[in-house]
């Protein structure tokens, strides 16, 4: 008996190390090796240990899949299961949750990393700001990078060595130099960075990671999540701001994203359409995480969120980590010597002009999709060759069987018919060679008699008449059978339709037998179970209860009361 073997990963494949490269906020890189079961939290802890960072809840690791869709690395899942790109893996360390009040950040190191993130946001055009604000932010960056203005060291066009904004005009550069020379003199790098954080966090686009989509009219819009709430931008103008306290539910279906909330004591449902289902799911996850981080008072209050409605299962997700209030409380309790902040030198800064735009785009390119290895190709070729050989063997064996069968039926010794005998050599007489008269001669003599010939002719006529009658009866029977078969086939079709209708009715009745008691249990009972309580709190259920069920119940009760009154009056 053949034993079944289940394929399981070998110890060598489990112990195989995978190289991961993580790009930091100053464009430097660190690398580490992980196992196949290493979780995402390990990589985040590795980067934080590299920085000696304690306030690490604001940060995360981001990666891009082969379809150019960005994702945040989930800390509780293995890295290999999340990555879809070819090894070695490349990721980026970024700010995930922007602090609502940067002044409450305890350590200078954390403020410096936030400063680097905001500098990137300004350079890529994510942090939109008017001319005066842009000039002040640019001057803070110059003061932090170069220090005080020195006419002997800095030429008249020293700002040109920095690329601060996507569109940097000569007028803006002159304004930046003016503020740098006159207003920021004497500020150290840490103070200039802090001033930059204070001014940046008051802007509308502070902390906004824009998600492109289209609204219900087909117009392009950009969605974002901030510490205040959910925001919608069209162009450079903010058209919606829904605070987290007013957002009741975020959900998605395919490429459609829904924001359900309350505004001015009225229910509000905003609908947006993304380019792909993956982009819509990423948008939904970002919204769920930001809502949990900024809205909840404790991480124990965070619940698993589902994107589905009441009866259909969808994606489920739960934010894992501390919330903003807990992070601020933990920061206030830090008791240690401030760690050393190793700032990037002037020539290593992203703002420096030596970093060309081409290199910047190369750093943002998505990862290459995984291709099969040469071993996989060889195994595929061997499998295909093995299948071809098996087919050829089957064809050869089939041909041999057919040849054997033909030889069996064509062999004279295997035939069931007698071997023919030539009549010229005596014919049938040789079979009956005896002193008795030959049957052939006897038949010839009988056929020569006229009476016998007449009898034989009459018998032949009767045989032909019987054959005609039999053929006519057979044709009539075949007609009857054909008509009955047609009737039976039509009956089969009718029976199939009846059976399908019966099945449909049975399924509908089964669904009603399950859903109607469940709805009555939800709508009429006072059972306070956590599962039923969560369903009753959903906006869809409340809408169904007040807009459909209550009017239907009132109508049924009215009809019943009218029927009872008519019955008593009669």
Identify which has the larger pLDDT, 180 or 463.
180
Phi/psi at 262 (5° precision): -130, 130
Q: How far apart are CA 443 and CA 448, in angstroms?
A: 9
Q: What is the pTM of this model?
A: 0.61
Q: How far apart are CA 149 and CA 337, in angstroms?
A: 31
Contact 203, 193 (CB under 8 A): no
Determine which of 242-251, 428-437, 443-452, 519-528 has the lowest per-residue pLDDT on average.
Answer: 428-437
Q: 3-state DSSP helix/strand/coil percent for the chain, to nearest 5?
A: 50, 15, 35
Using alpha carbons only, give the angle 204, 246, 319 rounded to the nearest 5 degrees: 85
Over residues 378-387, mean pLDDT: 44
Over residues 414-443, mean pLDDT: 42
DSSP strand pairing (18-23 vs 89-95): parallel
Phi/psi at 446 (5° precision): -65, -40
Q: How far apart are CA 274 and CA 146, in angstroms?
A: 43
Quick one: pLDDT band at residue 309, thresholds 50, 70, 90?
A: low
Q: How far apart are CA 551 and CA 537, in angstroms?
A: 20
pLDDT at 314: 60
Contact 47, 22 (CB under 8 A): yes
Phi/psi at 234 (5° precision): -125, 110
pLDDT at 544: 75
Contact 47, 55 (CB under 8 A): no
Number of C-alpha atoms within 13 angstroms, CB side, residue 257? 29
Domains of the chain, first to last = 16-95 (3.10.20.90), 102-127+129-201 (1.20.80.10), 211-321 (2.30.29.30), 500-565 (no CATH)
pLDDT digits (tens, 9 = 90+) for 439-491: 445 445 555 566 666 776 777 787 788 778 878 877 777 777 677 667 666 66
Kindly tell me if the per-residue pLDDT of 368 is higher than 60.
no
Over residues 381-407, mean pLDDT: 43
Identify which has the larger pLDDT, 160 or 421.
160
pLDDT digits (tens, 9 = 90+) for 199-214: 999 999 999 999 999 9
For residue 344, what is the DSSP state? P
């Amino acid at each position: 008996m053949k034993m079944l073997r289940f394929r399981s990963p070998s110890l060598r494949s489990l112990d195989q190390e995978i190289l991961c490269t993580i790009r930091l906020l100053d464009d430097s890189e660190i690398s580490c090796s992980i196992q196949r079961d290493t979780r995402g939290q390990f990589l985040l802890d590795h980067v934080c240990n590299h920085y000696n960072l304690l306030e690490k809840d604001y940060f995360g690791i981001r990666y891009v899949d082969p379809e150019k869709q960005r994702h945040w690395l989930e800390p509780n899942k293995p890295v290999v299961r999340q990555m879809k790109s070819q090894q070695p893996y490349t990721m980026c360390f970024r700010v995930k949750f922007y602090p609502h009040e940067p002044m409450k950040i305890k350590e200078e190191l954390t403020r410096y990393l936030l400063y680097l993130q905001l500098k990137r946001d300004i350079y890529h055009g994510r942090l939109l700001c008017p001319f005066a604000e842009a000039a002040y932010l640019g001057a803070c960056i110059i003061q932090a990078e170069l220090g005080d203005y020195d006419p002997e060291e800095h030429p008249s066009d020293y700002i040109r060595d920095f690329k601060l904004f996507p569109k940097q005009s000569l007028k803006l550069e002159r304004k930046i130099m003016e503020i740098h020379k006159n207003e920021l003199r004497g500020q150290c790098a840490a103070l200039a960075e802090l001033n930059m954080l204070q001014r940046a966090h008051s802007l509308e686009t502070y902390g906004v990671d824009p998600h492109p989509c289209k609204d219900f009219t087909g117009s392009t819009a950009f969605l974002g999540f901030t510490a205040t709430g959910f925001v919608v931008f069209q162009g450079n103008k903010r058209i919606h701001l829904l605070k987290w306290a007013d957002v009741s539910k975020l959900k998605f279906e395919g490429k459609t994203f829904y924001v359900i909330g309350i505004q001015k004591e009225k229910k509000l449902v905003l609908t947006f359409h993304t380019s792909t289902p993956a982009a819509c799911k990423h948008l939904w996850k970002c919204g769920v995480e930001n809502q949990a981080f900024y809205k909840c008072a404790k991480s124990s209050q965070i619940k698993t969120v589902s994107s589905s409605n009441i009866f259909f299962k969808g994606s489920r997700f739960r934010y894992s980590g501390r919330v903003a209030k807990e992070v601020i409380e933990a920061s206030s309790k830090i008791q240690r010597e401030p760690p050393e902040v190793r700032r990037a030198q002037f020539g290593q800064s992203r703002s420096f002009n030596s970093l060309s735009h081409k290199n910047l785009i190369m750093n943002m390119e998505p990862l290459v999709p995984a291709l099969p290895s040469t071993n996989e190709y060889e195994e595929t070729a061997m499998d295909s060759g093995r299948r071809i050989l098996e087919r050829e063997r089957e064809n050869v064996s089939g041909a041999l069987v057919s040849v054997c069968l033909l030889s069996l039926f064509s062999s004279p010794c295997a035939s069931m018919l007698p071997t023919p005998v030539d009549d010229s050599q005596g014919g049938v007489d040789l079979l009956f060679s005896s002193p008795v008269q030959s049957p052939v001669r006897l038949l010839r003599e009988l056929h020569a008699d006229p009476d016998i010939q007449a009898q034989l002719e009459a018998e032949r006529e009767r045989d032909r008449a019987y054959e005609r009658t039999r053929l006519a009866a057979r044709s009539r029977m075949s007609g009857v059978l054909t008509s009955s078969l047609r009737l039976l086939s039509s009956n089969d079709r009718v029976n199939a339709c009846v059976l399908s209708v019966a099945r449909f009715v049975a399924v509908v009745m089964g669904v009603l037998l399950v859903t109607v008691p469940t709805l009555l249990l939800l709508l009429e009972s006072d059972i306070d179970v956590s599962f039923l309580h969560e369903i009753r709190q959903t906006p869809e259920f409340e809408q169904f209860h007040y807009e459909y069920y209550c009017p239907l119940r009132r109508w049924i009760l009215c009809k019943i009361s009218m029927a009872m009154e008519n019955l008593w009056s009669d």
